[in-house]
Amino acid sequence: KQTQLTAGSSSDGTEDSDFSADVEHAEAAEIVHRRSSTRLTRASLRLSRSSQDIKQGADRDETPPRTPTGNAPSSESDIEVSSPSNDLEDERLAKELSLKEAAAHDLSHRPKRRRFHESYNFNMKCPTPGCNSLGHLTGRHERHFSISGCPLYHNLSADECKVHASTRDKQAEERTLSHRQDENRHSTRNQAPTERQLRYKEKVTELRRKRNTGLNKEQKEKYMDHRQSHGTSREPLLENITSDYDLELFRKAQARASDDLEKLRLAGQVSEGSNMIKTIVFGRYELDTWYHSPYPEEYARLGRLYMCEFCLKYMKSQTILRRHMAKCVWKHPPGDEIYRKGNISVFEVDGKKNKIYCQNLCLLAKLFLDHKTLYYDVEPFLFYVMTEADNTGCHLVGYFSKEKNSFLNYNVSCILTMPQYMRQGYGKMLIDFSYLLSKVEEKVGSPERPLSDLGLISYRSYWKEVLLRYLNNFQGKEISIKEISQETAVNPVDIVSTLQSLQMLKYWKGKHLVLKRQDLIDDWKAKETKRGNSKTIDPTALKWTPPKGT
């Protein structure tokens, strides 16, 4: 029995084709079931094999010889390719193959297929309980991963969202058409409204007048049941709260905002459910974050936060930030200014008196610190905020916090230099200022452990500098670790570890000796001369008395 070899293009213009054959043999049918289809390109290439190989394969097996797709032979030309007519058939097939390949490279005529794997991460899920992540509030996307695009959260179905989207598109077309009709009118400053605009205004007034003044008993019970059943996992029922016209405007604004967020997510500017803030807009800087910070979920899932650099309030958009900056009266941190020299100031902020500011400061610091665990319990701490002043205000450079009553004499609980001010000497200034406060308190201080990687590097560099300066000025023959500690306010343990790292501490004849390595001192003096005294703390500029226990 002979069958026909048919090759046709699919309905969307692609080169996909299937070989169809009626196979009587049971084994051939089983193979057809397992390998349903193969592209024409593979079939045509394998048809060019020599007739001798195909005949040998046919002799070895009693079953009908297979075509490259695993089917039974589709025509006599598939086997008896040695005849002259079959040679012509091969030439025709090869010519068709070359044409197919040329058409395959030119994909301009093909309709653009949507590739979900490029724009969607199917491992992500919508955080709304019971949602399967299908549909989108805008009606224009197949999936969603956030509450802002969840139809179920907004008490809608995916089909309803699509219907609303088509309705909005029709209204937009009508509005565009009406605007075109009005373009012929002369544009003047005091232009009278058209008849269409007056009719629309009357219509809106009438719609708002029809608003129900209150909810009946059944509606109130329905609203209460919805709130008790879903809590904050669903949007409250909004019907009859305002007029239908205003509710429709609100729904349009929701859909538009959700569409904008989806575009940002597809562009990679919004994280997909990871609750990881990638960037923050802080003053005139846009900073990439390093670690996760426990901001509220509605802010964390945006991927980018906008912050006021003076009051540290965080916002969702550039528009909200611009409006806030027009009203914000803060130009420096709250609290008392205890140090000022040049344009550098330090403010002492009490976590009990300025709780919101200190919490925002801790959340900001966690974006750049790995080991920080303090976020909201800020009342037992004092925060010392360093700023750099210009004609617009005092800009945050860094800060450190310390406990009001530390039993282990920790003079620093957490310390941070903002990324835009790193590697400029401000970190050592903050550390030096913390030890200056310890000297005024007549205590020996040490930072709280564990230190971050950058914090450990900064502290070791500072301790090295302090010890080399002390040894350079020391003229006696015998030196004591205790005397160094009392003079510099550095903990003896930190002094010993620094001396060991510098290989300046030796054990000889039952005694520990401190070696005065002149080569290290000379290197330090050369660096000091090159660096200058621009980034140093002046003890005379400090106006501060130790706070009493609270």
444 residue type, one letter: V
Residue of 177, 136, 183 lying closest to 158 (CA atoms): 136
CA distances from 165 to 119, 251, 266, 479 (A): 21, 11, 20, 82
Cα(133)–Cα(21) distance, rounded to whole angstroms?
42
Name which residue leads in pLDDT, 109 or 125.
125
- Asked if residue 191 has pLDDT above 70, the reply is no
Mean pLDDT of 492-497: 92
Can you tell me whether residue 542 is helix, strand or coil?
strand
- Asked if residue 393 has pLDDT above 90, the reply is yes
Note the pLDDT of residue 88: 60
Cα(38)–Cα(79) distance, rounded to whole angstroms?
19
Q: List all residues 6 or more positions away from 382 whose beta carbon is below 8 Å from its beta carbon.
A: 348, 349, 350, 351, 401, 402, 403, 404, 547
How many other CB atoms are there within 10 angstroms of residue 547's CB atom? 12
Percent of the chain's residues with pLDDT above 90: 29
Name which residue leads in pLDDT, 395 or 14.
395
Q: Which band of pLDDT confidence, cut at 50, 70 and 90, is reported for residue 103? A: low
Q: Which band of pLDDT confidence, cut at 50, 70 and 90, is reported for residue 241? A: confident
- Asked if residue 61 has pLDDT above 60, the reply is no
Q: Which band of pLDDT confidence, cut at 50, 70 and 90, is reported for residue 307? A: very high
- Asked if residue 192 has pLDDT above 90, the reply is no
* Token pair of 132 as six digits: 């399967």
Note the pLDDT of residue 30: 45
Name which residue leads in pLDDT, 119 or 282.
282
Find the range with the poorest average confidence among 97-111, 155-169, 230-244: 97-111
Percent of the chain's residues with pLDDT above 70: 72
Can you tell me whether residue 15 is helix, strand or coil?
coil
Give the active site residues: 448
Q: Which band of pLDDT confidence, cut at 50, 70 and 90, is reported for residue 98? A: low
Name which residue leads in pLDDT, 26 or 493.
493
Q: What is the DSSP string of 373-387?
A: --SS--TTEEEEEEE
The secondary structure of residue 75, as a DSSP letter, is: S
Note the pLDDT of residue 90: 62
Note the pLDDT of residue 385: 97
Which of 16-20, 83-87, 238-242: highest mean pLDDT? 238-242
* Token pair of 520 as six digits: 């290290």
Cα(233)–Cα(252) distance, rounded to whole angstroms?
21
Largest CA distance in the chain: 113
- Asked if residue 280 has pLDDT above 90, the reply is yes
Angle formed at CA 424 by CA 423 and CA 429, multiple of 5 degrees: 105
pLDDT in tens, 260-276: 777 777 766 555 445 57
Which of 106-110, 147-151, 418-422: highest mean pLDDT? 418-422
Note the pLDDT of residue 118: 36
Find the range with the poorest average confidence among 69-73, 217-221, 383-387, 396-400: 69-73
Q: Which band of pLDDT confidence, cut at 50, 70 and 90, is reported for residue 26? A: very low
Averaged pLDDT score across all residues of the chain: 76
Name which residue leads in pLDDT, 97 or 3.
97
pLDDT in tens, 134-158: 888 888 888 887 788 888 888 888 8
3-state secondary structure 423-471: CCCHHHHHHHHHHHHHHHCCCCEEECCCCCHHHHHHHHHHHHHHHHHHH
Cα(47)–Cα(69) distance, rounded to whole angstroms?
11
**Which region, left, alpha or beta, applies to residue 442 given φ > 0 means left and ψ of -120 to 50 means alpha?**
left
Burial 370-403 (b: 16+ CB within 10 A, else e): eebebbeebeebbbbbbbbeeeebbbbbbbbbbb
Residue pair 278/304 in contact by the 8 Å Cβ criterion: yes
Name which residue leads in pLDDT, 80 or 49.
49
Q: Which band of pLDDT confidence, cut at 50, 70 and 90, is reported for residue 382? A: very high
Note the pLDDT of residue 547: 78
The secondary structure of residue 420, as a DSSP letter, is: G
Note the pLDDT of residue 492: 92
* Length of the chain counted residue by residue: 550
CA distances from 32 to 4, 77, 427 (A): 16, 20, 72
**Neighbouring-strand partners of residue 389:** 394
Mean pLDDT of 330-349: 94
CA distances from 11 to 8, 16, 53, 83 (A): 9, 9, 36, 35
Cα(421)–Cα(398) distance, rounded to whole angstroms?
8
**Neighbouring-strand partners of residue 287:** 280
Mean pLDDT of 366-374: 81
Note the pLDDT of residue 184: 59
- Asked if residue 76 has pLDDT above 60, the reply is no
Which contacts (CB < 8 Å, 24+ apart) does range 136-143 have?
Answer: 136/161, 136/258, 136/262, 137/161, 137/254, 137/255, 137/258, 138/165, 138/255, 138/258, 138/259, 138/262, 139/163, 139/164, 139/165, 139/166, 139/255, 140/165, 140/259, 141/262, 142/116, 143/116
327 residue type, one letter: K
pLDDT in tens, 430-477: 999 999 999 999 999 999 888 877 788 889 999 999 999 998 888 877
Cα(290)–Cα(406) distance, rounded to whole angstroms?
30
